[in-house]
Protein backbone atom coordinates (compact mmCIF):
# COMPACT_ATOMS: atom_id res chain seq x y z
CA UNK A 1 0.00 0.00 0.00
CA UNK A 2 2.76 2.37 0.98
CA UNK A 3 4.62 1.57 -2.22
CA UNK A 4 1.48 2.27 -4.28
CA UNK A 5 1.07 5.68 -2.62
CA UNK A 6 4.72 6.52 -3.25
CA UNK A 7 4.35 5.52 -6.91
CA UNK A 8 1.23 7.71 -7.24
CA UNK A 9 2.96 10.68 -5.61
CA UNK A 10 6.00 10.25 -7.85
CA UNK A 11 3.76 10.11 -10.92
CA UNK A 12 2.00 13.34 -9.91
CA UNK A 13 5.35 15.06 -9.40
CA UNK A 14 6.50 13.98 -12.85
CA UNK A 15 3.29 15.30 -14.41
CA UNK A 16 3.75 18.60 -12.59
CA UNK A 17 7.36 18.78 -13.74
CA UNK A 18 6.54 18.31 -17.43
CA UNK A 19 3.63 20.71 -17.11
CA UNK A 20 -0.07 19.91 -16.91
CA UNK A 21 -1.13 22.91 -18.99
CA UNK A 22 -0.49 21.22 -22.36
CA UNK A 23 -2.41 18.11 -21.23
CA UNK A 24 -5.52 20.05 -20.28
CA UNK A 25 -5.22 22.44 -23.20
CA UNK A 26 -5.37 19.59 -25.73
CA UNK A 27 -9.01 19.05 -24.76
CA UNK A 28 -9.77 22.66 -25.67
CA UNK A 29 -7.29 22.66 -28.56
CA UNK A 30 -5.55 25.76 -27.18
CA UNK A 31 -1.81 26.27 -27.36
CA UNK A 32 -0.84 27.28 -23.79
CA UNK A 33 2.08 29.41 -24.97
CA UNK A 34 -0.14 31.32 -27.38
CA UNK A 35 -2.75 31.77 -24.67
CA UNK A 36 -0.07 33.04 -22.27
CA UNK A 37 1.28 35.50 -24.83
CA UNK A 38 -2.22 36.74 -25.66
CA UNK A 39 -3.08 37.27 -21.99
CA UNK A 40 0.03 39.37 -21.47
CA UNK A 41 -0.58 41.78 -24.33
CA UNK A 42 -1.42 45.38 -23.36
CA UNK A 43 -5.15 46.00 -23.69
CA UNK A 44 -7.85 48.58 -23.13
CA UNK A 45 -6.86 49.38 -19.53
CA UNK A 46 -3.23 49.92 -20.54
CA UNK A 47 -4.44 52.35 -23.21
CA UNK A 48 -6.41 54.14 -20.49
CA UNK A 49 -3.18 54.71 -18.55
CA UNK A 50 -1.36 55.86 -21.68
CA UNK A 51 -4.07 58.32 -22.71
CA UNK A 52 -4.43 59.89 -19.26
CA UNK A 53 -0.91 59.87 -17.81
CA UNK A 54 1.71 59.72 -20.56
CA UNK A 55 3.41 63.08 -20.98
CA UNK A 56 4.29 66.04 -18.74
CA UNK A 57 2.04 67.29 -15.95
CA UNK A 58 2.07 70.04 -13.35
CA UNK A 59 1.02 68.84 -9.90
CA UNK A 60 -0.72 70.76 -7.12
CA UNK A 61 -0.73 68.96 -3.80
CA UNK A 62 -2.45 69.38 -0.44
CA UNK A 63 -1.30 67.32 2.54
CA UNK A 64 -2.88 66.83 5.97
CA UNK A 65 -0.52 65.29 8.53
CA UNK A 66 -3.21 65.93 11.15
CA UNK A 67 -6.84 65.54 10.03
CA UNK A 68 -7.81 68.58 12.12
CA UNK A 69 -5.01 70.81 10.80
CA UNK A 70 -4.91 73.05 7.75
CA UNK A 71 -3.35 71.40 4.68
CA UNK A 72 0.18 72.12 3.53
CA UNK A 73 0.33 73.17 -0.13
CA UNK A 74 3.09 72.26 -2.57
CA UNK A 75 3.65 72.03 -6.31
CA UNK A 76 5.59 69.55 -8.39
CA UNK A 77 5.80 67.82 -11.75
CA UNK A 78 5.20 64.37 -13.21
CA UNK A 79 6.61 62.88 -16.40
CA UNK A 80 4.83 59.73 -17.57
CA UNK A 81 5.85 57.12 -20.13
CA UNK A 82 4.68 53.60 -20.96
CA UNK A 83 7.43 51.01 -20.51
CA UNK A 84 7.98 47.29 -21.25
CA UNK A 85 6.04 47.36 -24.47
CA UNK A 86 3.17 49.37 -23.04
CA UNK A 87 2.49 47.08 -20.07
CA UNK A 88 3.31 49.60 -17.34
CA UNK A 89 3.10 53.33 -16.76
CA UNK A 90 6.19 54.85 -15.17
CA UNK A 91 5.85 58.37 -13.76
CA UNK A 92 8.83 60.32 -12.46
CA UNK A 93 7.39 62.64 -9.82
CA UNK A 94 9.40 65.58 -8.50
CA UNK A 95 8.54 67.90 -5.60
CA UNK A 96 10.81 70.60 -4.16
CA UNK A 97 11.59 70.12 -0.46
CA UNK A 98 11.03 73.49 1.25
CA UNK A 99 13.31 72.50 4.14
CA UNK A 100 16.36 71.18 2.29
CA UNK A 101 15.76 73.33 -0.80
CA UNK A 102 16.37 70.25 -2.93
CA UNK A 103 14.12 68.30 -5.26
CA UNK A 104 12.62 65.04 -3.96
CA UNK A 105 12.09 62.43 -6.69
CA UNK A 106 9.94 59.31 -6.75
CA UNK A 107 8.81 56.72 -9.28
CA UNK A 108 5.19 55.65 -9.56
CA UNK A 109 4.72 52.36 -11.44
CA UNK A 110 1.19 51.33 -12.42
CA UNK A 111 -0.01 48.52 -14.63
CA UNK A 112 -3.03 46.39 -15.30
CA UNK A 113 -2.74 42.68 -14.53
CA UNK A 114 -4.75 40.82 -17.19
CA UNK A 115 -4.49 37.66 -15.12
CA UNK A 116 -6.34 39.10 -12.10
CA UNK A 117 -8.28 41.85 -13.94
CA UNK A 118 -6.90 44.43 -11.52
CA UNK A 119 -4.72 47.50 -11.58
CA UNK A 120 -1.44 47.10 -9.70
CA UNK A 121 0.66 49.95 -8.32
CA UNK A 122 3.80 50.62 -6.34
CA UNK A 123 5.86 53.70 -5.50
CA UNK A 124 9.54 54.11 -4.66
CA UNK A 125 11.51 57.25 -4.05
CA UNK A 126 13.68 59.43 -1.89
CA UNK A 127 12.47 59.77 1.67
CA UNK A 128 11.33 56.15 2.05
CA UNK A 129 12.66 52.59 2.16
CA UNK A 130 9.40 50.66 1.90
CA UNK A 131 7.77 49.07 -1.13
CA UNK A 132 4.00 48.82 -0.87
CA UNK A 133 1.79 47.14 -3.44
CA UNK A 134 -1.74 48.29 -4.10
CA UNK A 135 -4.43 46.59 -6.18
CA UNK A 136 -7.71 47.91 -7.49
CA UNK A 137 -10.34 48.24 -10.18
CA UNK A 138 -11.74 50.85 -12.56
CA UNK A 139 -15.31 52.14 -12.36
CA UNK A 140 -16.54 53.30 -15.77
CA UNK A 141 -19.40 55.30 -14.23
CA UNK A 142 -17.23 57.41 -11.93
CA UNK A 143 -14.18 57.33 -14.22
CA UNK A 144 -12.09 56.37 -11.20
CA UNK A 145 -9.49 53.75 -10.31
CA UNK A 146 -9.66 52.73 -6.64
CA UNK A 147 -6.53 51.12 -5.19
CA UNK A 148 -6.21 49.51 -1.76
CA UNK A 149 -3.12 48.55 0.21
CA UNK A 150 -2.25 46.94 3.55
CA UNK A 151 1.11 47.73 5.09
CA UNK A 152 3.22 47.96 8.21
CA UNK A 153 5.27 50.91 9.46
CA UNK A 154 6.63 50.93 12.99
CA UNK A 155 6.98 54.73 12.86
CA UNK A 156 3.18 54.92 12.75
CA UNK A 157 2.62 52.29 15.39
CA UNK A 158 2.37 49.18 13.22
CA UNK A 159 -0.19 48.19 10.63
CA UNK A 160 -1.97 50.61 8.35
CA UNK A 161 -4.31 50.54 5.39
CA UNK A 162 -4.62 52.97 2.52
CA UNK A 163 -7.17 53.70 -0.17
CA UNK A 164 -6.27 55.75 -3.23
CA UNK A 165 -8.89 57.12 -5.62
CA UNK A 166 -7.60 58.20 -9.04
CA UNK A 167 -10.29 60.22 -10.80
CA UNK A 168 -9.79 60.68 -14.55
CA UNK A 169 -11.35 64.13 -14.97
CA UNK A 170 -10.18 64.33 -18.59
CA UNK A 171 -7.17 63.31 -20.66
CA UNK A 172 -5.53 66.54 -19.53
CA UNK A 173 -6.43 66.45 -15.84
CA UNK A 174 -6.66 63.90 -13.03
CA UNK A 175 -7.14 63.98 -9.28
CA UNK A 176 -5.57 61.54 -6.82
CA UNK A 177 -6.89 61.30 -3.25
CA UNK A 178 -5.02 59.37 -0.56
CA UNK A 179 -6.92 58.04 2.47
CA UNK A 180 -5.12 56.34 5.38
CA UNK A 181 -6.02 54.45 8.54
CA UNK A 182 -3.37 53.86 11.20
CA UNK A 183 -4.08 51.33 13.91
CA UNK A 184 -7.50 51.99 15.44
CA UNK A 185 -7.78 55.51 14.03
CA UNK A 186 -10.64 56.42 11.73
CA UNK A 187 -9.71 56.72 8.07
CA UNK A 188 -8.74 60.25 7.08
CA UNK A 189 -7.69 62.04 3.92
CA UNK A 190 -3.94 62.58 4.03
CA UNK A 191 -3.26 63.97 0.58
CA UNK A 192 -4.87 65.27 -2.58
CA UNK A 193 -2.96 65.79 -5.80
CA UNK A 194 -4.28 67.37 -9.01
CA UNK A 195 -2.33 66.84 -12.23
CA UNK A 196 -2.76 69.16 -15.19
CA UNK A 197 -1.13 68.40 -18.53
CA UNK A 198 1.51 70.89 -19.61
CA UNK A 199 0.61 72.68 -22.82
Ranges of H-type helices in 42-189: 44-53
Long-range CB contact pairs, 107-115, < 8 A, 24+: 108/78, 110/49, 110/53, 111/46, 111/49, 111/87, 112/43, 112/45, 112/46, 112/48, 112/49, 114/39, 114/40, 114/41, 114/43, 115/39
Alpha carbon distance 176, 172 (integer Å): 14
Low-confidence ranges of the chain (pLDDT < 70): 1-28, 156
pLDDT score at 10: 43
Residue range(s) of every CATH 2.40.128.20 domain in the chain:
44-197
Q: Which CATH superfamily is domain 44-197 in?
A: Calycin beta-barrel core domain (2.40.128.20)
Amino acid sequence: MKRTLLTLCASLLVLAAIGLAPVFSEEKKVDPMEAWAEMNKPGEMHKLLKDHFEGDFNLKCKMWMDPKAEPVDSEGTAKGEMIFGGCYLKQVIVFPDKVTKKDVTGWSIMGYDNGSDQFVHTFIGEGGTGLDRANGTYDEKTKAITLECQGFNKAFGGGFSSRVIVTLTSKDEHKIEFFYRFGKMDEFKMMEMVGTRKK
